[in-house]
């Protein structure tokens, strides 16, 4: 894990634990941890406060702000952090009522029921609504397969659950919890609420108004089997990007809806024409046949840090599976004009059938011209699954090599595990981890 990412996690941990510090220094503190009742009650309070703080920070991580992406090494890594933080926040918020209830079990079951069942205490009712809402939305996100537009719509309801939870933390102190949580509690609650609401509002309303996306026009559409190659030209100033990055595209076609979707850039760095290659994988991509030359496309980005120039001058091994070749296509084109490449680059491209090889002509021609670039197409039906042993046989020892992977999770996870088992450092392995829904 790179030092910037470690620093980012330390900042998140520091911010999340601020209420613990405030509770110990401006509230009851250790003096309140004297018996079963006070310990469970105090833990219930702290779990709730830390959970809400983490919940607010998840909205900041979802803003796609550039400096946050820089810290974590790409937007895909930011979303992984967002998921881990959100899951942790949910668990802590779930522990909040559980420990408050344990305070009264088994001596006062009627009082315990106040924390779990709807009652005349609206502060508690709001907490129950927020908790059940968060559990439902997280369950939908993690364990169900629904259409992207519906998934996105339900995900936005997390903002509503945060608002309800915020009302809960402002109201509960004077109703059910009669102790002094800590001096300045309402100030802290206001700051946490403001942070969460800013992140949510920025993503949903503000960003689209303050930051206008670039508008492109489709100038070419090629379809081969299940793959679409779409080439676009900027109406005004083209975006600046590096090969290997990705963009969010919104096609102005009535058959495709108004949702934006992420796709890797398949053209060389800062090419005037933006090129993407998309495979039919779901309801949205099935409709790409409705696109017409001349239609407009909104382009947001670029995002990601998946580019060979970010990672020193060592020999590199690129491993692509299926549609995961797309970020490598632009990088291969960059190689033709890059005179700074001093070490070998090996591209292993794994497919089930030779007919699935995308960009084979460009890859093969570049390999023939360049002494430093080696293209190895890998037909898994004929040669078996691609493994590190087979990579080693061609690319040589792994010491001081950088590895780049993009493709199906099964391929990436298997090879990454093998690489780490063979002593390849984590910071020498670079994965395009973005899940294209």
> What pLDDT score does 427 carry?
85
> What pLDDT score does 176 carry?
44
DSSP code at position 252: -
Check pLDDT > 60 for residue 172. yes
* Lookup: tokens for 121: 């205490």
The proportion of the chain whose per-residue pLDDT surpasses 90, expressed as a percent, equals 45
Q: Which of 147, 177, 143, 40 is nearest to 95 (CA)?
A: 40
Tell me the residue length of the chain: 437
> What pLDDT score does 257 carry?
78
| CA quadruple 397, 403, 406, 409: dihedral sign | positive
> What pLDDT score does 211 carry?
66
Check pLDDT > 50 for residue 175. no
Check pLDDT > 90 for residue 392. yes
> What pLDDT score does 370 carry?
85
Q: In what order do the strands lie in the sheet with 227-234?
A: 261-264, 246-251, 296-303, 214-224, 227-234, 273-279
C-alpha of 250 from chain center: 19
Q: Which of 333, 359, 344 is nearest to 396 (CA)?
A: 344
Residue 114 pLDDT level (bands cut at 50, 70, 90): low
Distances (CA, A) of 251 to 96, 285, 291: 44, 11, 8
Beta bridge partners of 264: 246
Cα–Cα distance, 68 to 390 (Å, whole number)? 37
pLDDT tens track for 14-27: 999 999 999 999 98
User: Which residues lie closer than 8 Å to 3 by C-beta, 6 or more apart?
Assistant: none
> What pLDDT score does 35 carry?
87
Residue 331 pLDDT level (bands cut at 50, 70, 90): very high
pLDDT tens track for 188-232: 999 999 999 999 998 887 776 666 789 999 999 998 888 899 999
Parallel/antiparallel/unpaired status of strands 227-234 and 214-224: antiparallel
pLDDT tens track for 266-293: 999 999 999 999 988 877 888 888 999 9
Contact call for residues 127 and 172 (beta carbons, < 8 A): yes
Cα–Cα distance, 34 to 46 (Å, whole number)? 16
pLDDT tens track for 118-131: 766 777 778 888 88
Check pLDDT > 60 for residue 316. yes
Residue 183 pLDDT level (bands cut at 50, 70, 90): confident
pLDDT tens track for 408-422: 888 999 999 999 999
> What pLDDT score does 178 carry?
43
pLDDT tens track for 220-250: 999 888 889 999 999 988 999 999 999 999 9
> What pLDDT score does 41 carry?
86
pTM: 0.85
Check pLDDT > 60 for residue 136. yes
Q: Which of 260, 146, 148, 254 is nearest to 203 (CA)?
A: 260
């Amino acid at each position: 894990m790179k030092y910037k990412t470690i620093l980012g996690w330390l900042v998140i941990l520091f911010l999340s634990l601020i209420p613990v510090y405030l509770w110990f220094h401006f509230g009851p503190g250790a003096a309140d941890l004297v018996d079963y009742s006070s310990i469970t009650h105090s833990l219930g309070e702290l779990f709730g406060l830390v959970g809400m703080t983490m919940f607010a920070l998840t909205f900041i991580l979802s803003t796609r702000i550039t400096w946050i992406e820089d810290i974590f090494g790409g937007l895909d890594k930011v979303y992984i952090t967002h998921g881990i933080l959100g899951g942790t926040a949910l668990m802590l918020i779930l522990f909040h009522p559980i420990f408050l209830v344990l305070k009264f079990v088994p001596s006062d079951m009627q009082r315990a029921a106040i924390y779990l069942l709807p009652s005349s205490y609206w502060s508690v009712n709001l907490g129950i609504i927020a908790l059940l809402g968060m559990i439902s939305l997280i369950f939908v996100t993690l364990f169900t397969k629904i259409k992207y537009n519906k998934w996105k719509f339900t995900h936005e309801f997390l903002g509503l659950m945060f608002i309800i939870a915020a009302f809960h933390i402002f109201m509960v102190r004077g109703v059910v919890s009669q102790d002094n949580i800590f001096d300045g509690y309402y100030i802290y609650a206001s700051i946490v609420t403001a942070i969460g609401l800013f992140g949510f509002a920025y993503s949903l309303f503000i960003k689209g108004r303050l930051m206008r996306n670039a508008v492109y026009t489709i100038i070419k559409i090629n379809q081969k089997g299940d793959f679409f190659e779409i080439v676009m030209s900027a109406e005004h100033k083209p975006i600046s990007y590096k090969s290997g990055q990705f963009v969010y595209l919104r096609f102005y076609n009535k058959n495709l809806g108004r949702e934006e979707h992420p796709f890797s850039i398949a053209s060389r760095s800062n090419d005037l024409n933006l090129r993407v290659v998309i495979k039919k994988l779901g309801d949205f991509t099935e409709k790409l046949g409705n696109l017409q030359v001349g239609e407009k496309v909104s382009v947001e980005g670029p995002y990601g840090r998946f580019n060979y120039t970010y990672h020193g001058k060592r020999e590199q091994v690129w491993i692509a599976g299926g549609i995961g070749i797309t970020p490598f296509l632009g990088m291969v084109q960059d190689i033709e004009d890059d005179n700074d490449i001093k070490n070998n680059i090996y591209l292993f491209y794994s497919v089930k059938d030779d007919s699935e090889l995308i960009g084979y002509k460009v890859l093969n021609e570049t390999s023939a011209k360049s002494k430093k670039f080696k293209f190895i197409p890998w037909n898994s039906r004929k040669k078996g699954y691609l493994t590190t042993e087979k990579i080693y046989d061609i690319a040589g020892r792994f010491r001081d090599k950088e590895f780049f992977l993009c493709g199906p999770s099964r391929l990436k996870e298997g090879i990454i595990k093998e690489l780490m088992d063979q002593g390849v450092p984590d910071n020498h392995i670079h994965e395009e981890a973005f899940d294209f829904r």
